[in-house]
Structure 1
Amino acid sequence: MSKGFKSFLIAIGILIVLVIIIYSFFAGNYNKMVDAEERVKAQWAQVENVYQRRFDLIPNLVATVQGAASHESDVLTQVTEARSRAGGVMQVSDEVLSDPDAFRRFQQAQNDLGSALQRLLVVTENYPDLKANSNFLALQDQLEGTENRIAVERQRYNEAAMGYNAFIKKFPRTILANMFGFREKAYFTADAGAQRAPTVNFN
């Protein structure tokens, strides 16, 4: 076997090894990005589920309160309007996760609804009959459980998004992420003023 042919075989061997290494790098990292993004989407679906549960509980809660405290029309109207606004952004595609403005609008609508519900529950403290109503108490318990679940699922979503974002932003994976259209996912943030204790005034 001639020296030139041996060199040719060595060069071919090196080229094949390089192709395998490059392919493994691209395929391996691409697949990991897909897996991480799917985890984010799955967790987003859980967030939507708990928001939907809260959304579905509200009409029964409003109807129950209306029966016992019909003259609290302002608060009931605020809850109904906030629910309507939240409903407009309830079923959104997971593309909103890569659009910070759309994500912010979604979060704001949900925060407004949560605030309106808190005002409604504060008002109900003035009605002993309502507080003794078993239907209202059951709805209140379900709503409180749902609010806790919302907090848990939002935290889990943020953790999934953080893992995904960190993975795609590290060099050299950031080059692949840009090539294949993997975009940073938005995070849920604390409500404005969440660090301050709320003021409750019964006057």
Structure 2
Amino acid sequence: MRKWIIPTVIIAILVFWAISSYNGLVGVQADAKTAWSKVESAYQRRSDLIGNLVKTVQGAADFEKGTLTAVIEARAKATSITIDPTNVTPEQLAQFQQVQDGLKGSLSRLLVTVEQYPDLKANQNFLELQSQLEGTENRINVERDRFNDAVNVYDKKIKTFPSVIFAKLFGFNEMARFKAEEGAEKAPEVDFDFGNKKETK
């Protein structure tokens, strides 16, 4: 009977070790998925605000229809992409970011165009929505950073011993992260000449 004590203890330790490692992996993966859901929530908030902004702008009868249509189409494209962060590839995340950037760009053009419409620019509802959108952009950046932090914890967990053994055994894979836009590492050129450059002969 005694000869089974040591093997039983070893087996019990291995089982406990496996359960502990697996639960740890599940925990950090769940944290990363929760962080992603907050990213999606921030983007959804922006989408909802843009929808309300579009309705407000549509009230201006002579507003440029092309600019408005571009925002509506970009919004529809941005909301059509869904992602499972545990299975997403860097390419899929880049595509997601591309359509979100497209929406942000069309929205920027809309806001620039609004400058030509004094009554619309002074509309209290429009001003409030614009302010909320600015706050939402900041929230998106914060949630994206938090997602990257959560993914960093998860990725370190699945690559370190002994978790790496069970990560491979149970199919825990790396998660993609948000990256800076292409060219973001370059400082913008600032020209203070304002068109007053001297002509060169």
Would you say same fold, with TM above 0.5?
yes
Matched, 1:17 2:6: no
**Structure having the larger proportion of residues in helix:** 1
**Which among 56, 80, 99 is matched to residue 88 of structure 2?**
99
Which residue in 2 is equivalent to 1:85?
77
TM-score (ref. length: structure 1): 0.83
Q: Once superposed, which parts of structure 1, at least 4 consecutive aligned residues long, lie more than 4 Å away?
A: none
Q: Spell out, residue by residue over 1:135-179, the C-alpha distance to the aligned partner (whole angstroms, 9 max, x if none).
A: 110110111111111111111111111101110111332221111
Question: Greater shift after overlay, 60-69 or 163-172?
Answer: 60-69
One-letter amino acid of the structure 1 residue matched with residue 46 of structure 2: R
Percent identity of paired positions between Structure 1 and Structure 2: 47
Matched, 1:163 2:153: yes
Q: For the aligned residues, what is the CA RMSD?
A: 2.2
Q: Kindly tell me: are residues 152 and 120 of structure 1, through their superposed partners in 2, closer, same or farther at Cα, counting changes over 3 Å?
A: same
TM-score (ref. length: structure 2): 0.83
One-letter amino acid of the structure 1 residue matched with residue 88 of structure 2: D
Which residue in 2 is equivalent to 1:118?
108
Secondary structure of the structure 2 residue equivalent to 1:98: coil
Q: Spell out, residue by residue over 1:85-120, the C-alpha distance to the aligned partner (whole angstroms, 9 max, x if none).
A: 11211xx353x4422133222222212111221222
Alpha-carbon distance between aligned partners in 1 of 2:48 and 2:189, rounded to the nearest angstrom: 26
C-alpha deviation, 1:71, in angstroms: 4.3
Secondary structure of the structure 2 residue equivalent to 1:194: coil
Q: Give the unaligned 5+ runs of structure 1.
A: 1-7
Map residues 1-203 of structure 1 onto 2, 5 A cutoff: 9=2, 11-68=3-60, 70-89=62-81, 92=82, 94=84, 96-100=85-89, 101-195=91-185, 196-197=187-188
Question: Greater shift after overlay, 61-70 or 76-85?
Answer: 61-70
Q: Give the unaligned 5+ runs of structure 2.
A: 191-201
One-letter amino acid of the structure 2 residue matched with residue 128 of structure 1: P
One-letter amino acid of the structure 1 residue matched with residue 177 of structure 2: Y
Aligned residues: 188
Secondary structure of the structure 2 residue equivalent to 1:184: coil
